[in-house]
């Protein structure tokens, strides 16, 4: 079993366990807690059977367990669902000694994390991500939230006490979901682990998931331990997200695809601003993984407007994370001509 700990100062605030088959024994891997009497499992329709099995195993250990179904995908991330679930938790009599256990993709764990952070002003949260994106990104790092008009507009920073990652569950994902997570995992390689980049170069999309997940989480946990509330360093996790997010909104591509395209754009900005000389190598690897390197046809002015509105802009203008080399990220404020060239490189004129 691989174990990663996220720290705040000297305190361990979140423990991440990674192993094949872990979900089958999730009941045995809840944090030790004498007074726990109940676990409320919040889950998605696609993994309901797994959640039911976990509930049964928890009951087998003499602790009450209930399954509260969430709607699938983004429909779980609304304040009205938060209200419904809070009423259900109150009805069950969940107390501060009890535990919320989110099982599912990033939408389910974002919602479960937010509910655990706010119900009774915060009770213990355990998460078991069942998508690769959830495992390497959403469930790790303590950002929770729901959508209110804008995506993730309402939320809090709060770590899950424990995250249980079952590699067997991730192995069985459909290709599209694997690709989504691969874009974010590759991103962590680019910003913090050249050996992960090498692993993808050798194996393509079939790179061994246990090593991918371990390496990607080591990078993210390291960054978050040094900067939980996005004071500065955490921005490097947004590599590929400045142009990527604008393309996601303008072209309606999935988040993972948008990040892949955004990293290609960031490669150009890096080449111009800090002399990054592996732009083509990076682009070839993205393509080799079956991820897109060009945006669908979108309007240049739309994309520029979206980038200007983005929260990744600050007083110095549009902020881009770039690479000096694989594993060496920097934050720069490129001039307008450089941004245009980068957009041109991803097919936006």
Ligand X SMILES: NC(=O)c1ccc[n+]([C@@H]2O[C@H](COP(=O)([O-])OP(=O)(O)OC[C@H]3O[C@@H](n4cnc5c(N)ncnc54)[C@H](O)[C@@H]3O)[C@@H](O)[C@H]2O)c1
Q: Give the residue numbers marked as catalytic.
A: 121, 143, 184, 220, 230, 234, 238, 241, 245, 255
177 binds ligand X (CB under 6 A): yes
Distance in angstroms (rounded) separating the CA atoms of residues 349 and 345: 9
138 binds ligand X (CB under 6 A): yes
286 binds ligand X (CB under 6 A): no
3 state DSSP class of 240: coil
42 binds ligand X (CB under 6 A): no
Burial of 290 from C-beta contacts in 10 A (0-12 / 13-18 / 19+): middle
295 binds ligand X (CB under 6 A): no
- C-alpha separations of 103 from 4, 135, 161 in Å: 19, 11, 14
Site mask for ligand X (CB under 6 A), range 55-94, x = bound:
-----------------xxx--x-----------------
240 binds ligand X (CB under 6 A): no
3 state DSSP class of 259: helix
108 binds ligand X (CB under 6 A): yes
Residue 141 vs 270, nearer CB to ligand X = 141
β partners of residue 7: 12
348 binds ligand X (CB under 6 A): no
Applying CB under 6 A, the site for ligand X has a residue count of 26
Assigned token pair, 231:
């004071």
137 binds ligand X (CB under 6 A): yes
Among 15, 110, 257, 304, binds ligand X (CB under 6 A): 110
CB of 172 to ligand X, least distance (A): 7
Residue 143 vs 312, nearer CB to ligand X = 143
Residue 107 vs 268, nearer CB to ligand X = 107
E strands in the chain? 2-8, 11-19, 38-43, 64-69, 99-104, 124-129, 146-148, 150-154, 162-166, 313-314, 317-318, 320-325, 328-332
Assigned token pair, 85:
């679930």
- C-alpha separations of 104 from 31, 109, 208, 344 in Å: 19, 6, 21, 37
Q: Point out which residues bind ligand X (CB under 6 A).
A: 44, 46-47, 72-74, 77, 104-108, 110, 130-131, 133-134, 137-138, 141, 143, 152, 169, 173, 177, 180
């Amino acid at each position: 079993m691989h174990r990663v700990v996220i720290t705040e100062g000297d305190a361990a605030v979140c423990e991440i366990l990674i192993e094949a088959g872990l979900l089958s024994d999730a009941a045995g891997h809840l944090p030790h807690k004498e007074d726990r009497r109940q676990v409320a499992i919040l889950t998605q329709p696609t993994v309901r059977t797994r959640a039911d099995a976990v509930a049964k195993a928890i009951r087998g250990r003499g602790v009450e367990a209930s399954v509260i179904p969430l709607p699938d995908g983004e429909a779980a991330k609304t304040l009205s669902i938060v209200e419904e679930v809070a009423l259900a938790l109150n009805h069950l009599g969940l107390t501060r000694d009890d535990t919320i256990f989110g099982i599912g993709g990033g939408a389910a764990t974002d919602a479960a994390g937010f509910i655990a952070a706010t119900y009774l002003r915060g009770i213990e949260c355990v998460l078991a991500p069942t998508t690769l994106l959830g495992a390497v990104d959403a469930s790790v790092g303590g950002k929770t939230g729901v959508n209110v008009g804008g995506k993730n507009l309402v939320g809090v920073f709060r770590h899950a006490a424990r995250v249980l990652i079952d590699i067997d569950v991730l192995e069985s994902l459909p290709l599209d979901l694997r690709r989504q997570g691969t874009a974010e995992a590759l991103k962590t390689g680019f910003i913090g682990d050249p050996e992960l980049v090498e692993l993808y170069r050798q194996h393509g999309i079939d790179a061994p998931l246990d090593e991918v997940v371990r390496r990607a989480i080591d990078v993210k946990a390291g960054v978050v331990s040094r900067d939980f509330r996005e004071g500065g360093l955490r921005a490097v996790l947004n590599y590929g997200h400045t142009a990527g997010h604008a393309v996601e909104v303008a072209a309606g591509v999935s988040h993972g695809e948008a990040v892949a395209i955004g990293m290609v754009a960031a490669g150009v900005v890096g080449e111009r601003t800090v002399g990054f000389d592996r732009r083509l190598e990076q682009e070839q690897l993205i393509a080799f993984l079956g991820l897109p390197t060009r945006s669908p046809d979108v309007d240049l002015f739309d994309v520029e407007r979206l980038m200007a509105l983005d929260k990744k802009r600050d007083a110095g203008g549009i902020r881009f994370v770039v690479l000096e080399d694989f594993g060496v990220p920097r934050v720069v404020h490129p001039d307008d001509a450089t941004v245009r060239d980068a957009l041109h490189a991803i097919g936006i004129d």
